Chain A
Amino acid sequence: MSLVLVSGRTLGQGKTRDKEKLTEGYFDAAAFVELDADDADDLGIEEGDVALLETGAGEVRLRAKTARGDSSGVAFVPMGPWANALVDDGTEATGMPEFKSVPVKVEKTDGSPTTLDDLLGE
């Protein structure tokens, strides 16, 4: 299913942003995808399943959560390394990469979630 990737701030990501950037707390707060309940249903994805997200820039596997409000059409990932693996580095001469409104293919996968080591190659 094709959705639109939107990355952004959350309270959890914000609380761990400064002081706990290399801890499980930050990883838990930044490494998930939040889907609209109906979209998740259509995709056969339940809370806690692993979803594969793929854009023109890359792919990541993330634990899925379902949104409490209307989030139809949107795959929300907290700002951070996991979201940014899906964002291209082109800025169309604006200086600003496209951190929101990126077309993204989402499907359920049996794979394990992508770690920071996977992303940074260590």
Chain B
Amino acid sequence: MTICLVSSVSVAGERTGAEVVKNVTCPYCGLLCDDIDVYLEDGEISRIKRGCGLSNAKFVSEADRIESPAVREGEELHEVSYGEAIERAAEVLREAKRPDCYGWSSCSVEAQGLGIELMKEARGSIGSTSAVCHLPSVLAMQDCGAPKATLEQVRNRADVVIYWGSNPVEAHPRHFERVTRRADGYFVKGKDRYIAVVDVRETLSAKISDEFVKVEPGGDYEALQAMRSMLQGNEIEADEVGGVPVETLGELLGRMKDADFACIFWGLGVTMSGAKHRNVEALTSLAKELNDYGRCVSVPMRGHFNVAGFGQVCTWKTGFPGFVDFTGDEINYAPGENTSVDLLRRGGSDAMLLVGSDPAAHFPLRAVKRLREVPVVQVDPHPNATTRFADVVIPSALVGIEAEGTAYRMDTVPIRLKKVVDPPEGVRTDERIIRDVMGAL
């Protein structure tokens, strides 16, 4: 860790000594910017340099924290020791016939690996928040692959960039700055890239790009397949496909075909609508087929800072990228069956361990109603909607700020997370908590 002492001027004008930790990785979104300078005063973060609105909120703003481990008795949560909360969590897992574990996208890969081992012991299932995010991308890439590249390759080479169903200005605010529009590469200057946004609404990202192509909601599959067909030399006998004039699709395809290096970044507009994984298959297939003309790659815009890591770790450990069930003699990989929302819908899980997630806010409300019927153990730094009914609540440290670890960027490049301040007194890391629950089990 690089810590320098710098002089800064306080609001009152007095010169004060502040520490600065250089090149800290931001543990917020899947872009994992690793150039943040964090300024510390009296052991607390006073400000950051080079962050975006999201990273400022994460590093600097006042946080609601879960102050103590707690166990629910009747309607109320009662503070207990870590030992008691961990014993209770182990009891919930032990008593369940089919416990399910969900979350993990805001944890280090080290903690994720331990979580998978824990659920093997507990004979349950485990998956990450990608179930309500990029799971269709994972399925599509398993089915038909995808031409990939690192973000550095894209920055250095891409002369045409398409953001399809993705709004980086709001979800990955520094993507334009670090990878595309404002990022100069060895071979291409940021301002010289052609950038198009394909989306159902004219987002802020669409407004600052060279072209906005409005597709109708659920129309992505048809539009992408029409482009693939045109690439094969076929004529489309319609004026519009997926709500987009065929002429516009043809022009966009022409730009990609003529590019030296094109990149399609795709987001949740592709994974969450209509044909879901079939949308992604059409998109990555188009990218593959464009390689007959120039170079074309595709990169998913992963959301949470280490959602990609869970897929990596689970693949090393089980051969599958998540959504694995350890209840039988063999590992059962069945997304759509073992995914938490599906399990809740059919009453397939009888306890839930949640690590760094808030399904009460991010699952369909019907699934939340079912979640409330089973015992819930929550490990999280912050209280959220799920805390309102969790039976066991265990506070954890913020990895990347209060604990170190490793995370995988959206292009699956591993990046080290630093510790810059101590966690609140006594608060344990996810790794320690999972190890302790395993011990108690």
Contacts and interface: CB of A to CB of B under 8 A. Distances in A.
Given A74-B201, A81-B365, A120-B388, A4 B217 contact: yes
A70 B214 contact: yes
A116 interface: yes
A79 to B, nearest CB: 7
Interface stretch (B9-17, B202-210, B225-233): B202-210
A8 interface: yes
Nearest to A93: B336
Interface in B193-250: 200-203, 206-207, 212, 214, 216-218
B151 to A, nearest CB: 19
A97 interface: yes
B120 to A, nearest CB: 21
B269 interface: yes
B94 interface: no
Contacts of B171: 9, 14
Contact of A119 (B53, B337, B365, B367): B365
Nearest to B127: A95
Interface stretch (B39-47, B82-90, B258-266, B271-279): B271-279
A73 B272 contact: no
A11 B39 CA distance: 24
A100 to B, nearest CB: 4
Contact of A14 (B170, B203, B272, B362): B170
Contact of A80 (B362, B382, B388): B362
Contact of B362 (A79, A88, A93, A116): A79
A17 to B, nearest CB: 8
A84 B363 contact: yes
Contacts of B299: none
Interface residues of B, number: 68
A100 B64 contact: no
A89 B346 CA distance: 10
A19 B217 contact: no
Interface in A21-51: 21-23, 30
B54 A14 contact: yes
Contact of A95 (B218, B341, B383, B387): B341
A57 B365 CA distance: 9
A8 B207 contact: no
A76 B323 CA distance: 30
Contact of A21 (B135, B336, B361): B361
B57 A57 contact: no
B382 A21 contact: yes
A81 B139 contact: no
A106 interface: no
Given A19-B382, A80-B361, A97 B268 contact: no
Contacts of B57: 14-16, 18-19
Contacts of A11: 53-54, 169-170, 173
B364 A57 contact: yes
Given A10-B170, A67-B201, A70-B214, A91 B336 contact: yes
Given A19-B382, A67-B201, A80-B362, A96 B276 contact: yes
Contacts of A71: 200-202
A11 B64 CA distance: 19
A9 B201 contact: no
B164 interface: no
A84 B362 contact: yes
A81 B368 CA distance: 10
Nearest to B398: A18
Interface string B351-386: 000000010111111111010000000000111110
Contacts of A96: 131-132, 135-136, 271-272, 276, 339
A69 B203 contact: yes
Interface string B281-302: 0000000000000000000000
A4, A11, A16, A90 pick with most chain B CB within 10 angstroms = A11
Contact of A89 (B367, B382, B384): B367
Contacts of A101: 217-218, 272-274
Contacts of A92: 336
B171, B339, B342, B363 pick with most chain A CB within 10 angstroms = B342
Contacts of A68: 202
B169 to A, nearest CB: 8
Contact of B341 (A21, A79, A89): A89
Given A96-B276, A100-B217, A22 B365 contact: no
Nearest to B367: A89
A93 B337 contact: yes
Q: 5 closest pairs, A vs B, by CB?
A: A69-B202, A95-B339, A93-B336, A21-B384, A100-B273
Given A8-B268, A11-B173, 7 more contacts: A6-B200, A14-B171, A73-B216, A89-B370, A95-B131, A96-B271, A101-B273
16 contacts: A4-B217, A9-B303, A15-B54, A18-B58, A21-B64, A30-B361, A57-B364, A69-B202, A89-B363, A89-B370, A91-B339, A94-B136, A94-B336, A95-B336, A95-B341, A100-B272
